Amino acid sequence: MAPLFLARRFLYVPPIHHPKGTRTMGYKVVVAGATGNVGREMLNILAERQFPVDEIAALASRRSLGTECSFGDKTLTTQDLDTFDFTGWDIALFAIGSEATEKYAPKAAKAGCVVIDNSSLYRYDPDVPLVVPEVNPEAVDGYAKKNIIANPNCSTAQMVVALKPLHDRARIKRVVVSTYQSVSGSGKDAMDELWDQTKGMYVPGQEKEPDVYPKQIAFNVIPHIDKFMEDGSTKEEWKMVAETKKIVDPKIKVTATCVRVPVFVGHSEAINIEFEDFLDEDEARDILREAPGILVVDKREDGGYVTPVECVGDYATFISRIRQDSTIENGINLWCVSDNLRKGAALNAVQIAETLGNRVLQKG
């Protein structure tokens, strides 16, 4: 079995806060899909950030019913998602995939529970806000149309955190991004496949044929994530285009090539940005250093940059290799790395819940 996480370092980011004397009762929170990679991380991060929880429920499908999950120093036993009554619950973090979300999210929303959904089902719905709190926190206010808020794709989330402060300064015209996405983005079975294939390369009789992926992932890279579309791009690439436009600015042109790499956790991106106005690399570096959710590690020396192994367990989006692109008039190149199970999924969902609490619900 593949190890789910490597050694962890934690970057403190302030959780929900209300002025002294204004604290009310906390929230009743549901985590749906609590036994999966992202669901477990949601529980971890809710505890780490001391989200004001009065009561919490871990939900799973019937095949995982009764599985135990950790929430801080507590142990939760999963309940049946199919029969769970969402009435009286405040917030539900969904990590159950689009098909199940289509069935259960409207049920929760109708019961008055705000759904924060990690699947792609509602991301492109004009009546559902698509939120990255460092980028467009005000979008949370539109949740009431359907009582649902969408979490963006993992590769989009970290990129827009880097793009937004630069866009505010110099207006972005075009983005060319190549991603190097870890197997955890495909779930536990994909992590196991990488682990088993790697062992199989050295242990006769333990060879592992591709199952999750169309080709071998161990010691290989696969330029194919999600389904192919008519224009030759993949759905993952299309998501990055559509979501960047919805979250940051519909005028930005984006072209993406998304690649799966033999890394367990942590997505990396090489991003080329063309601006309307000139932006010096030193100013870009200073802007990013001051931007929320970002840590700049950019020394022009051996090891003076961040790689996926180093970002695991961290809240930050790391930016390195900031430099001028001399082939276009107003261009910057940079390297962007983040833990995809955290900022790309679970952390962003919890941050949305915090933003919703601070701006609208006012508990905790």
Active-site residue, 113 included? no
Where does residue 318 rank: exposed (0-12), middle (13-18), buried (19+ CB within 10 A)? buried
342 marked among binding-site residues: no
Contact residues for 90 (Cβ-Cβ < 8 A; gap 6+): 27, 28, 29, 113, 114, 361, 363
What is the C-alpha to C-alpha distance for residues 167 and 182, in angstroms, rounded to an integer? 27
What's the distance, Cα to Cα, between the start and end of the chain in Å?
A: 39
37 marked among binding-site residues: yes
360 marked among binding-site residues: no
268 marked among binding-site residues: no
Q: Which of 154, 258, 311, 336 is catalytic?
A: 154
112 marked among binding-site residues: no
Q: Which residues are registered as beta bridge partners of 306?
A: none
* Nearest in space to 33 (alpha carbons), one of 256, 349, 295: 349
Active-site residue, 224 included? no
What is the C-alpha to C-alpha distance for residues 40 and 43, in angstroms, rounded to an integer? 5
What is the C-alpha to C-alpha distance for residues 126 and 311, in angstroms, rounded to an integer? 33
266 marked among binding-site residues: no
Residue whose tokens read 């955890």: 184
36 marked among binding-site residues: yes
88 marked among binding-site residues: no
Q: Which of 69, 258, 267, 336 is catalytic?
A: 267
123 marked among binding-site residues: yes
64 marked among binding-site residues: yes
What is the C-alpha to C-alpha distance for residues 65 and 37, in angstroms, rounded to an integer? 16
What is the C-alpha to C-alpha distance for residues 313 and 315, in angstroms, rounded to an integer? 7
326 marked among binding-site residues: no
DSSP at 153: P
Number of C-beta neighbours around residue 277 at 10 A: 10
What is the C-alpha to C-alpha distance for residues 294 and 160, in angstroms, rounded to an integer? 11
Where does residue 190 rank: exposed (0-12), middle (13-18), buried (19+ CB within 10 A)? buried
Q: Annotated binding site for substrate, which residues?
A: 181, 260
Enzyme catalytic residues: 154, 267
Q: Annotated binding site for phosphate, which residues?
A: 123
Q: Annotated binding site, which residues?
A: 35-38, 63-64, 123, 181, 184-185, 260, 340
